[in-house]
Amino acid sequence: MRNRLLIVLCFAMLLRLPAIAQISEGGMPPGLRYSFDEKMGTTIKVDPPDIEKIKNEDEIFKKNGEALRFAQSIPVNVDLIKEGAWIRLPDGGRVCCLTIESEDAQALIIYYNHFTIPAGGKLFLYNKDRLQVIGAFTSRNNPKRCSFATEMIQGEQVTLEYFEPEHVSGVPAIVISEVGYVYRTAENFFKHRGFGGSDTCEVNINCPEGDDWQDEKNGVVRIIVKAGPSSYWCTGSLVNNVRWDLTPYFLTADHCGNTATPENYDQWVFYFRYEAEDCEDPLSDTLFDSYTLTGATKIASSGGAGYASDFKLLRLNESVPDEYQPYFNGWNTVDEPSSGGVTIHHPNGDIKKISTYTDTLQSDNWGVIPNTHWRVVWSQTQTNWGVTEGGSSGSPLFDEKGRIVGQLTGGQATCIFPSGPDYYGKFSYSWEGNTYSDSTSLQPWLDPDSTGVTELGGTRVGIADQDNDQHHLVVYPNPTDGIIHVAFTGFSGKSVNLKIFNILGVSVYEKTFTDINGNQLSLNISHFEKGVYFLSIIIDNKERQSVRIIR
């Protein structure tokens, strides 16, 4: 099934390197710095899938109850280290180079069933014209389990380069099990003739309609969903929890990858900040910085695709880096209809959009269980009449206060028929309505201490969702060897409850200061084990702020 030939694809002029690609170290692949002999690279050609058969299946799936499939995986068994061409570099190191090609692919996604990089090793990937370069992936990216994935690479060719410095210890294991063949929705990605696959009525998040939703948008994420041999577009959101500890909980729809295995979840790719800078569509996304994470673990779900309130709660396998500007959206568990709000989503896998409703939500259902969903009808706004599409599945529905009240299952709204209803699984039903089992409810995870909180604000790294900005919190030095200083501005006369949580969300320190007289407190945490912690304060029992600290 695979034809092999030798070809050089390990040298070219570097045109552009993205600032961030997944969680990686950046840098330049050796093949873009050195000129190699023309017969020193290895190319593996992979036969494309039966696209006509796949498209016929997609016509049956459409929008309702099915996520938008855009790629189909081709099984392979490619050991980069054994099958790539090894080249000695002038600095004494070595590089292993291998190219995978599949005819007429719009883009390729590489899935691994073994991914281990020893300290010092670096993996890069780039496309044929070198406009897209990702990496370096290092030992920092080694997954807890074996499965891993790298983000979508434009075009029908992707080159992998593994760099091994001189005297490195440890043996890499980089084995590719599947090649995701992208056959639609990327027609305009990376091009200069227009952009994105969503319909013409959609409204970019940075249009005037998004002015009041600049925090909430940073919690909304595009997802490459891997389930069996297929890949789908969906949307989801980071969600806050009552401990305010920045645990990377993530809410989407259960029908997004309802058949996904734990190994599949390790291969999901999450795209943050994938949006236009302003209201206009950009000409290309080649100038976008890439902010992605790979892998998650399913924590709880409604119990099946489209069943009950159709929710899925994940925990991302990695904390979200500060430079991603993450926002952990708040929520409302009260079963009362909102009179207005928005959804923020990635229709058809496109850049981030916003759709607005001004009519009060109606209680409804998707299946046979009553009152599991909110029925929403979108409104025409200043820029256009935003709706939802395939790829919007799992997107959060916000009330007028910016709290999540549901996630998208499906509906009838289109640009041709914008007044058709859409249906969002109720957050209030997902809270504990499916059953009281931890695996089918949100409450045990988002309120693990059973405080009874029914409405929670959002939070971002360093500062929480507040009614005003007069209170500021700074923690330094960070990272710390043991002593940290907690500096306050505007806290005089306030009551402050200070807590520190470890990465598992367990409280390891708590103290209440009833009347802050100065502007600074000093704490000795030298007895803490080295790692990541979260310092959280509650001001006068209402305002909350959180800061991540590294010991």
Active-site positions?
Answer: 255, 310, 393
The continuous run of DSSP H or E covering 430 comes out as helix 427-432
Pairing of strands 94-101, 42-46: parallel
3-state secondary structure of 348: helix
With beta carbons less than 8 A apart as the criterion, state whether 480 and 532 touch.
no
Q: Is 53 exposed, middle or buried (0-12, 13-18, 19+ CB in 10 A)?
A: exposed
Instruction: With CA atoms as reference, report the closest residue to 547 among 493, 494, 498, 481.
Output: 498
Mention every residue, 6+ apart, whose C-beta is less than 8 A from residue 370.
none
Mention every residue, 6+ apart, whose C-beta is less than 8 A from residue 211.
none
How far is residue 179's CA from residue 409's CA, in Å, rounded to a whole number? 29
CA 331 to chain centre: 19
Instruction: With CA atoms as reference, report the closest residue to 363 among 338, 394, 389.
Output: 338
How far is residue 386's CA from residue 395's CA, in Å, rounded to a whole number? 14
How far is residue 342's CA from residue 345's CA, in Å, rounded to a whole number? 10
Question: Residue 361 to residues 202, 344, 369, 406, 481: CA-CA distances in angstroms?
Answer: 21, 17, 18, 11, 52
The continuous run of DSSP H or E covering 157 comes out as strand 157-164
Cis omega (within 30 of 0) on the bond before 136?
yes
Question: In this structure, what token pair is assigned to residue 302?
Answer: 């409604």
With beta carbons less than 8 A apart as the criterion, state whether 248 and 316 touch.
yes
